[in-house]
A and B are shown apart, each in its own frame.
Chain A
């Protein structure tokens, strides 16, 4: 029987494997251990991060490899970028993607530009792990989906895996890669299970995956929406609608060929993206097809984003805001009608 673990466990496995195979991998973030600073070892490992991903790590790797940080994102991410310039491979946890605002220069002007600006004289093998995704009723400062902001910046690789298998392999590749990589982890996927090999494996950077084959329409879905798209595709089989679900996995670099080939086959395109609509990854993929694959399109191109608003708190409003299977189904039918 094939082993199944959760998305969260897949993250932990990927992290632990890279730490075991390379002593230069260190991890930093708020409450990654928990209970530090009291001089009482029985309190250590109280949390293992706010989402308990690194629970138990301190026992294996010690406080020399896993660092609790103050609430100083600029300081610990900046230090990680600096350390990456002379040989460490820091993996930093930015608790919520929303918090990139407090430390954005690290992402906008530093890690992303050093390689180019210094004519290849520097490299920044840093990995930033962050959580994203609405649906947790946490309001506008803890729910924003904003991977498009990082995807926009040249110099970053960006990955938003949808399955435990992809997560583990992509995370290992990300940490071992010499470029800065931003890993977006969907919070609603943390407890989702999937088949994952126990050993060490890497997945190719920039390579997407066909999650379900079909012939009538291509649905490109990202991160948290991939499983929804697969469910909708299965449901629509009963109505003789054949949906191909493409998961680009990596937003940068983007697997353009995979998307274009699929659109060539199906002739129709829907892009599902939880980020806000303007200047989004969906917009980007639509542009790709408009520029390079317009001849393949037989009916319509459509995108489905969350609305152009911040994330509201009230459950009624947040449910309205979020992408749902029903919305995906309606969007597919509106393309095909």
Chain B
């Protein structure tokens, strides 16, 4: 698949933005600017390749580790950061926080703190889209740990029997908190979990954003052409802990360094673009600075925004 220089550049910028967004969060949590711990996606930026084949009005359902995906879907970093700070200018007026950032106007239907539940929710919009012939797809993001929840299996079966335009994206980052995939999952070929329900299922390398993008493009087209759901299993890795402040100790430092050195999705993509002649070292540094500036502005915006009025506690329980 031939992609334009602009498209490739956009991908790199979104990856850099994702990393720039999550990088300062450690300090912001330790300084209590952010009132609680958060889950970073540093190392998993290749996964945002799944967003580029989607339209603005396609739906995504995300989990607790979703900042990068949401930024790629087009959400405003300022309003995301403000939400994480608990400010009234956040996407959800400070009521949700990092784990629940939601912006339906971008198709970001709701970040969920209950692992795996998105795999049943996701079939609602795809069912509606099919019924009303909207030609939209609906995507659920969940981890390998969440794939051990019953929801996931029920959700896949329903999507399959109704041939829904649902795409299941299983982000296998190898650890559910402190528990390794080798222990917690009965098979290491997680694509089998979709195949068991007759769903076309693919393993892709999350360190290669173009491989992720290309396969996603294919399954999105299939979904739009009424060929039913697919499962994409992305092999990826988080460099940071499950959450900021976790004790670690369940994996070796060498393992983390090895991933950083050999499978970093940004470094690999950068090298690829330089090889194509689309990027130079100087240009890369400029793009990195640009991403950092956007996030610095977002932090400033969040920091200067007001907290919600206490009376907001009692609003929006009902419509």
Contact = CB atoms under 8 A, between A and B. Distances in A.
A252 to B, nearest CB: 26
B243 to A, nearest CB: 10
B183 A46 contact: no
A37 interface: yes
A141 B310 contact: no
Interface string B87-114: 1100011111111100000000000111
A47 B148 contact: no
Interface in A208-245: none
Contacts of B176: 30, 70-71
A308 interface: yes
Nearest to A312: B95
Contacts of B252: 40, 43
A38 B180 contact: yes
A75 B145 CA distance: 14
Name the residue among B87, B88, B97, B182 with the largest chain A CB count within 10 angstroms.
B97
Contacts, number: 163
A56 to B, nearest CB: 13
A36 to B, nearest CB: 5
B140 interface: no
B256 interface: no
B36 interface: yes
Contact of B86 (A36, A71, A316): A316
A312 B94 contact: yes
Given A31-B177, A46-B249, A142-B113, A317 B313 contact: yes
Contacts of B250: 34-35, 38, 43, 46-47
B183 A137 contact: no
Q: In which size bucket is the chain A interface?
A: 35 or more
A109 interface: no
A136 B36 contact: yes
Given A102-B151, A314-B87, A50 B177 contact: yes
A196 B174 CA distance: 41
B95 A52 contact: no
A317 B317 contact: no
Interface string A250-287: 00000000000000000000000000000000000000
Contacts of B248: 46
A321 B313 contact: yes
Interface string A285-307: 00000000000000000000001
A30 B116 CA distance: 15
Interface in A127-161: 136-142
Contact of A38 (B95, B251, B311): B251
B149 interface: yes
B180 A37 contact: yes
Nearest to B184: A70
A106 B112 CA distance: 23
A21 interface: no
B74 interface: no
A114 interface: no
B178 interface: yes
B249 A138 contact: no
A138 B243 CA distance: 12
Looking at chain A's contact residues, is the secondary structure mostly helix, strand, loop, or mixed?
loop
A50 B247 CA distance: 9
B24 interface: no
B185 to A, nearest CB: 7
Nearest to B113: A141
A58 to B, nearest CB: 12
Contacts of A35: 178, 180, 249-251
Nearest to A50: B177
A319 B178 CA distance: 31
Nearest to A71: B145
A313 B100 contact: yes
B178 A31 contact: yes
A334 interface: no
A34 B249 contact: yes
A257 to B, nearest CB: 37
Interface string A304-329: 00011110111111011100000000
Given A34-B250, A70-B185, A102 B97 contact: no
A47 to B, nearest CB: 4
Nearest to B255: A38
B291 interface: no
A68 interface: yes
Contacts of B307: 314-316
B100 A139 contact: yes
A102 B113 contact: no
Contacts of B117: 102
A314 B251 contact: no
Contacts of A101: 114
B35 interface: yes
B94 A317 contact: yes
Given A37-B183, A137-B36, A71 B115 contact: yes
A46 B178 contact: yes
Name the residue among B93, B185, B310 with the largest chain A CB count within 10 angstroms.
B310
27 contacts: A31-B178, A35-B180, A38-B180, A46-B178, A46-B247, A46-B250, A47-B250, A68-B183, A70-B148, A70-B179, A70-B185, A71-B116, A72-B148, A75-B150, A102-B116, A102-B117, A102-B149, A137-B86, A141-B99, A141-B100, A141-B112, A308-B317, A309-B314, A313-B95, A314-B88, A314-B97, A316-B310
Interface of B: 35-37, 86-88, 92-100, 112-117, 145-146, 148-151, 176-185, 247-252, 307-314, 317
Given A75-B150, A139-B96, 6 more contacts: A35-B178, A40-B252, A71-B116, A102-B149, A141-B114, A313-B97
Which 4 pairs across A and B sit closest by C-beta, in order of nearness?
A37-B183, A141-B113, A314-B94, A314-B86
